[in-house]
């Protein structure tokens, strides 16, 4: 397939200086405000490599075939812009607004798009085009004239690509950690070796996509189409899948959560070793490591797994009421509808864990004071945890890190959120009657009604 760099190869791009670009931008701003002298920015086939375009408004501008190699576009507004077959290699588009932009055939190899808005962006194939002497585009007349959009080795952490069209694109070795990919079209896309940890793929279409070697720990995949998807060697431990998906034959090649051969005996032995490890201060016994195990639906109330390693564990619908799990590492765990009422979860690590609909009534999620000379305080970490519709009535969440957490529809009646960090947390529809929020950090919190 042709590379996006080949666009307009027989018509060299005109290099612009920063001052020339600034003059075009001023006229474009006037155009956007419908002021006299305003002209829509026409930067097609221009060379803007290495220029600083941070924070600029180029919405609706024509940048088709433009060279933006290593350009700085942080916070730029490129909504509805025409970036057809643009060269954006190594460009910095962090927090840029690219919603509904035309990026067909664009090359974003090595670009940084973390926290960018790419809602409904078009990253499908383009057709190799050239310009004639009058500046008009015409199609390449060779058989191999398709430009495949490329996001290889790009950094797209926390970006929003909801409903984007990424069919057939190269997205190999790309970091999509925590990206929002709801309803995104990835049909036949090559996502080999990409990191999709914690991303939201709800209702996405991965039909015939290549996800071999990809990491999907903690990814929400409910409603996601996976017909003929290649999951060879893909890590799906901790991924949130629905029952129908779990029966899909193409998941057999993926790395999934393990089950114990003799769960009762094996668990009993592990717990005894763990208790010995706790009582001896780590000098005897063995610290419990239940990572990547599927213990869904099990009755584990009152269990003592303090300081245990429980990464990516599946505990859907499990009974953990009154359990002691202080300082346990439960990152990326699946705890949907689990009963954690009155559990000791002080200092727990729930980073990117899914606790949708879980019962945490009266749970202790406050800090642990480590007995050292420094008097270190170990806070509970619920960063980016999914707590939608969870019951947190009278829960102790003092000093907890809830930044980026989803608490939509959660019941926090009477909860103690004193000094908690709620930066960027989603509290839409959450019940906060009688909740204590003294000195809580609520900047950028979503849906918080003061």
**Cα 306 from chain centroid?**
29
Residue (of 349, 320, 352, 322) closest to 337 by Cα position: 320
Which residue in the block uniquely carries the two structure tokens 């700085």? 72
Structure tokens at 136: 């008009």
Give the pLDDT of residue 261: 85
Judged against a pLDDT cut of 50, whether residue 3 lies above it is answered with no
What pLDDT does 12 receive?
A: 65
Report the distance separating Cα 289 and Cα 310, nearest Å.
6
Pairing mode of beta strands 46-47, 14-15: parallel
Lookup result for tokens 């080999």: 192
**In a domain? residue 85:** no
Q: Are strands 377-378 and 368-369 parallel, antiparallel or unpaired?
A: antiparallel
**In the structure, what pLDDT confidence band is assigned to residue 345 with cuts at 50, 70 and 90?**
very high
**How does pLDDT run across 126-176, given as a tens digit for each residue?**
654 444 555 554 444 434 445 788 999 999 999 999 999 999 999 999 999
Average model confidence (pLDDT) across the chain:
91
Q: What is the mean pLDDT of residues 229-257?
A: 93
CA dist 152 and 111 (Å) reads: 9
Q: What percent of the chain has pLDDT over 70?
A: 91
Instruction: Tell me if residue 144 falls in helix, strand or coil.
Output: coil
The verdict on residue 129 lying in a domain is: no
Task: Output the six-digit token pair for 351.
Answer: 């980073």
Give domain status of residue 240, yes or no: no
- Whether residue 345 lies inside any domain: the answer is yes
Which whole-number Å values give the CA distances from 328 to 156, 365, 415, in the listed order?
30, 12, 22
| Number of structural domains found in the chain | 1
User: What is the four-CA torsion angle of 428, 434, 435, 440, rounded to 10 degrees?
Assistant: 100
Q: Give residue 318's domain range.
A: 258-450
Residue 313 burial (CB count, 10 A): 29
pLDDT, tens only, 199-242? 999 999 999 999 999 999 999 999 999 999 999 999 999 999 99
In a domain, 356, yes or no: yes
| Domain-located, residue 159 | no
CATH number at residue 354: 2.160.20.80
Look at residue 320 and tell me if it is in a domain: yes
Task: Select the more confidently predicted residue: 10 or 96.
Answer: 96
| Residue 62 forms part of a structural domain | no
């Amino acid at each position: 397939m042709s590379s996006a760099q080949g666009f307009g190869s027989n018509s060299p791009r005109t290099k612009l200086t920063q001052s020339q670009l600034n003059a075009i931008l001023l006229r474009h701003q006037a155009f956007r405000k419908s002021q006299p002298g305003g002209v829509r920015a026409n930067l097609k086939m221009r060379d803007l490599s290495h220029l600083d375009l941070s924070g600029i408004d180029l919405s609706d501008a024509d940048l088709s075939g433009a060279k933006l190699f290593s350009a700085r576009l942080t916070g730029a507004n490129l909504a509805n812009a025409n970036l057809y077959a643009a060269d954006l290699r190594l460009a910095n588009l962090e927090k840029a607004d690219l919603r509904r932009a035309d990026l067909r055939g664009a090359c974003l190899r090595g670009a940084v798009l973390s926290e960018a808005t790419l809602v409904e962006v078009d990253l499908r194939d383009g057709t190799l085009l050239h310009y004639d002497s009058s500046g008009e585009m015409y199609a390449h007349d060779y058989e191999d004239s398709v430009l495949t959009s490329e996001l290889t080795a790009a950094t797209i952490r926390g970006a929003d690509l909801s409903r984007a069209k990424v069919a057939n694109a190269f997205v190999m070795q790309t970091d999509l950690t925590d990206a929002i990919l709801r309803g995104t079209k990835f049909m036949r896309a090559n996502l080999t070796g990409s990191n999709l940890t914690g991303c939201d793929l709800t209702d996405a279409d991965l039909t015939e996509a290549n996800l071999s070697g990809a990491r999907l720990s903690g990814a929400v995949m409910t409603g996601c189409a996976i017909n003929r998807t290649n999951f060879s060697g893909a890590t799906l431990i901790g991924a949130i899948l629905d029952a129908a998906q779990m029966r899909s034959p193409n998941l057999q090649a993926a790395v999934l959560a393990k089950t114990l051969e003799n769960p009762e005996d094996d668990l009993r032995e592990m717990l005894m070793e763990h208790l010995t490890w706790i009582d001896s201060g780590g000098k005897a016994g063995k610290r419990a490591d239940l990572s990547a195990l599927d213990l869904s639906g099990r009755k584990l109330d009152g269990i003592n797994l303090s300081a245990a390693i429980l990464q990516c564990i599946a505990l859907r619908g499990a009974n953990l009421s009154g359990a002691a799990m202080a300082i346990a590492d439960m990152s990326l765990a699946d705890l949907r509808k689990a009963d954690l009422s009155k559990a000791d979860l002080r200092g727990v690590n729930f980073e990117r864990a899914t606790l949708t609909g879980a019962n945490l009534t009266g749970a202790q999620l406050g800090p642990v004071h480590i007995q050292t000379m420094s008097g270190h305080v170990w806070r509970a970490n619920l960063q980016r945890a999914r707590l939608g519709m969870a019951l947190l009535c009278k829960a102790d969440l003092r000093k907890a890190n809830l930044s980026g957490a989803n608490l939509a529809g959660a019941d926090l009646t009477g909860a103690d959120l004193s000094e908690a960090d709620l930066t960027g947390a989603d509290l839409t529809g959450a019940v906060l009657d009688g909740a204590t929020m003294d000195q809580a950090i609520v900047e950028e919190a979503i849906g918080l009604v003061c």
